[in-house]
Structure 1
Amino acid sequence: MFLLDWEYISGEKVLEYHRAEKKPHEDDELDGAIQVVPSGPDTQQGIMSDFYYTMMSCAAKSIWIATPYFVPDEAIRTALRVAAAKGIEVRIMVPEINDSYLTQYASRSYFSELLRNGAEIYSYKKGFLHQKVIIVDGNIASIGTANLDLRSFHLNFEVNVFLFGTSSIRDLVAHYEEDLEDSEKISPVQYHKRGLWERTKESFARLFSGAL
């Protein structure tokens, strides 16, 4: 990853691509599969969003998300709305207080459509939530640097690890459940009763979603 970034910035060719010479032995015990996915200006545009969308679209039982910045594009919003409407358990955990008020209000502007379709949104209260985790059906997961926002999808250099059927996913599930205990579930009824001033701030912040 470092060498790829070096080549992109400097234009200097320092990396020779080759296939790994060592192949897994037939007797090696395999624990699922892992795929490392980089994204950024030097890769296919929207590749991280495509991976996230595919994960969510394949869900049969549950989609669990933890992210500090929730400013999803239309494809991700659609995938989450459809999943929740189908009865799939959609849980989204965000920090109660964000380190960016503009991002915090922009994030909240997306809550209504998800809550209306049956998604569960949790406000993490024990400090700042910084992990970027997606767990689907307890069997597929993503963890890395990419947030659920447009900057991570189209501008920033990011790298995520996607896990398929590995034992490490159980640890992610356990940590997620621990964080849920320190979170408060947002009531759809109470949320839809929020005042005009709060709605105005959300709508204003949403105008800057592409830059957050």
Structure 2
Amino acid sequence: MLITFAVIFIINTIFALITVFREPRDIAATWAWILVLTLIPVLGFIIYSFAGRKLSQRRLFAYQRQDTTAINDKIQALMTAANQSFGQQVKSGHESEASLRQARSLVTLFQNLNQTSLATSNQVQILTSGQAFFEQLKTDLRAAQKSINLEFYTFYSDEIGHEIRDILVERAQAGVEVHVVYDALGSFGTLKSFFKPLRQAGGYAAPFLKRRFTLIDFQLNFRDHRKIVVIDGQIGYVGGFNIGDQYLGRHKKFGHWRDTHLRLTGSGVYYLQEHFLLDWNASDPKHPMQVTADRYFPALVAENQGRTNLQIVTSGPENDDEQIKMGYIRLIQLAKKRCWIQTPYLIPDDSTFDALRIAANSGVDVRIMVPCMPDHMFVYRATQYYASQLAEYGVKVYYYQNGFLHAKTVVVDDHLASVGSANFDFRSFKLNFEINAFMYDSKVAKELAKHYQDDLKLSTLQTPASFAEQGRWLTFKQYVARLLAPIL
């Protein structure tokens, strides 16, 4: 019996090593998968088949083969024309210029890694409640005249989901071109038939990077976690909210939902449009969108001009640059006075962890706010582990107590900020398709800092002493979760 067990263990280990090493991945994820495959025979391989395989070359090719040169040339021509037409109106204010001087290296980083140009002259509205977000979104959708493009990780077929869909149907019937991209797993429970009225009205809806053989090629990883809305090429949204009743606080488990979203006008909308078009054409190549059509990239108008400089930055498994993570690290490095972070999931890799530790030990006021409750229990245990470790190095960790905190924000000093879909975890850094707005403007940074200070009043500070008072069983679960952090 013992010999039989040993043989099975050896065979299982050999197959585990072959399975893991046949695809390149970072060393932390490699060891985590070896642990799963060796300690959970058979079942571990089933888990790996859904969560461990890399994105297929066919799907990668569908995304990577798209040429962005024509779009970039179109955007640059429009921005040049706007500068010529509006002159001083489209130039940034003194405060925004000061922000750019501090962040010049960050701007250059994104230009090199993400081919992301600086978008000038934007107006930014910050939305922090589901009620404010959905009311503004519905108002803008109802006023659409030419095109509506929506992309969400979650588009549920619940009350608000039906309400948004019905507005889209009405606009499609009125001749507005409507496209919707949604993530199939993130929108689990939303059937294809939910979008049938939209298709019948002449609109389009498609799951992100859809596959013909879903059951055979199903993967838990590589989700479309982006949240993008572009209306008439003039109004854009990016941030943390999805489409669902829970984002309005209607879910008993979570109660109040605290999130952060941006409404943009100005040249930054062009870059949101660019990424939506790329995502759509990779997801539904049978119904491609013309990437340089004037209706998607209209000329800027004076009333949409503002004073905020920003860059729209994306990252995803189609390349290994981890652009948003690199941006987060550079933001932390640039901090001289403060670095305030909100994230529902705190599972940093070594480089991000070290950046936070160095900043805190250098006298920077580093604060991280996370929820007081889990939405994914195992992930939350890993978050608690890293929170306790960072607290040991002087990072101030807060548990938000007024419901569920889902915002993904960073505020650095008085000039720099980021808002988007990317969390501070391995999944957002390496596995998901994400999008963030990195902003260089004191007005925006100070407003986000004010929201942060308001949230602090509803949060409790966690100290090394409070973490030490945890029970042994809870601490054990946190350590186990930490071992599997690279694959959570």
Quote how far apart the aligned CAs of 1:8 are: 5.8
- Aligned to 1:17, which of 68, 71, 81? 71
Q: Which amino acid aligns with 2:338?
A: S
SS of 2:375's partner is coil
* Structure 1 residue 7 displacement after superposition: 9.4
Q: 2:382 aligns with which of 86, 89, 106?
A: 106
- RCO greater where, 1 or 2, for CA within 8 Å and sep 6 or more? 1
Root mean square deviation, CA, Å: 2.1
Q: Is the 8 A contact 2:422 2:428 kept in 1?
A: yes
Does the CA-based 8 Å contact 2:329-2:352 persist in structure 1?
yes
Question: Are 2:179 and 1:118 aligned?
Answer: no
| Larger deviation, residues 185-194 vs 158-167 | 185-194
- Residue 168 of structure 1 and its aligned partner are, at CA, apart by 2.0
Task: From 457, 462, 471, give the equivalent of 1:186.
Answer: 462
Structure-1 separation of matches of 2:414 and 2:460:
22
Superposed counterparts of 1:32-111, under 5 Å: 32-111=308-387
| Richer in helix (by share) | 2
In 2, the alpha carbon distance for the partners of 1:138 and 1:194 equals 36
Aligned residue for 1:98, secondary structure, equals coil
Alpha carbons of 1:43 and 1:17: their partners in 2 closer, same or farther (altered >3 Å)?
Answer: farther
Which deviates further from its counterpart, 27-36 or 68-77?
Answer: 27-36
After TM superposition, the structure 1 stretch with the greater mean CA deviation from structure 2, 170-179 or 63-72, is: 170-179
Aligned match of 2:407: 131
Gaps of 5+ in 1: 1-5
CA distance in 2, matches of 1:202, 1:18: 46
1:90 is paired with a residue whose SS is: strand
**Secondary structure of the equivalent of 2:404?**
coil
Q: Which has the larger radius of gyration?
A: 2
Letter in 1 for 2:77: E
Letter in 1 for 2:361: A
The residue that corresponds to 2:435 in the other structure is: 159
Secondary structure in 1 matching 2:399? strand
Q: Give how far 1:165 is off.
A: 2.1
Aligned 8 A contact 2:420 2:435 in 1: yes
* Gaps in structure 2 of 5+ consecutive residues: 1-58, 93-306
Residues in 1 aligned to 2:326 and 2:65: alpha-carbon distance in whole angstroms: 29
Distance in 1 (CA, whole Å) between partners of 2:64 and 2:383 is: 37
Residue identity over aligned pairs, in percent, reads 34
Using the TM superposition, give the Cα deviation of residue 190 of structure 1 relative to its aligned residue in structure 2, in angstroms: 2.0
The offset of 1:119, in angstroms, is 1.0
SS state at 2:88 partner: coil
Say which SS state the counterpart of residue 27 (structure 1) adopts.
Answer: helix
Q: What secondary structure does 1:109 align onto?
A: helix
Q: Is the 8 A contact 2:317 2:433 kept in 1?
A: yes
Q: Which amino acid aligns with 1:145?
A: S
1:202 to partner: Cα distance? 0.4
- 1:129-150 CA-to-partner distances (Å, cap 9, x unmatched) read 0110011113111100000001
Asked if the contact 1:81/1:114 (under 8 Å) is kept, the reply is yes
Normalised by the length of structure 2, the TM-score is 0.40
Separation in structure 2 between the aligned mates of residue 45 and residue 65 of structure 1, nearest angstrom: 22
Shift of 1:112: 2.9
* Residue range with higher mean Cα deviation, 20-29 or 168-177: 20-29
2: CA distance between counterparts of 1:103 and 1:190?
A: 20
Contact 1:7 1:14 in 2 (8 A): no
- Return the alpha-carbon distance in structure 2 between the equivalents of residues 85 and 156 of structure 1: 31
Query: Within 2, Cα distance between the matches of 1:125 and 1:153?
Result: 26
Aligned CA distance change for structure 1 residues 188 and 18 (closer, same or farther; 3 Å): closer
The structural deviation recorded for 1:17 is: 3.2
Q: Give distance in 2, aligned partners of 1:49 and 1:104.
A: 20
Secondary structure of residue in 2 paired with 1:36 = strand
Conserved? CA contact 2:414–2:442, under 8 Å: no
Aligned length, in residue pairs: 207
Normalised by the size of structure 1, how large is the TM-score?
0.89
Q: Which moved more, 1:94-103 or 1:181-190?
A: 181-190
**CA–CA distance in structure 2, aligned partners of residues 7 and 168 of structure 1:** 36
Structure 1 pair 157–193 and aligned structure 2 pair: CA distance change class (3 A): same
Q: Given that residues 87 and 118 in structure 1 are in contact (C-alpha distance below 8 angstroms), is that contact kept between their aligned partners in structure 2?
A: no
Call closer, same or farther: CA 1:200–1:172 in 2, change over 3 Å. Answer: same
Shift in Å at residue 10 of structure 1? Answer: 6.4
Name the CA distance, whole Å, in 1 between partners of 2:434 and 2:418.
Answer: 13
Report the counterpart of residue 201 of structure 1 in structure 2: 477
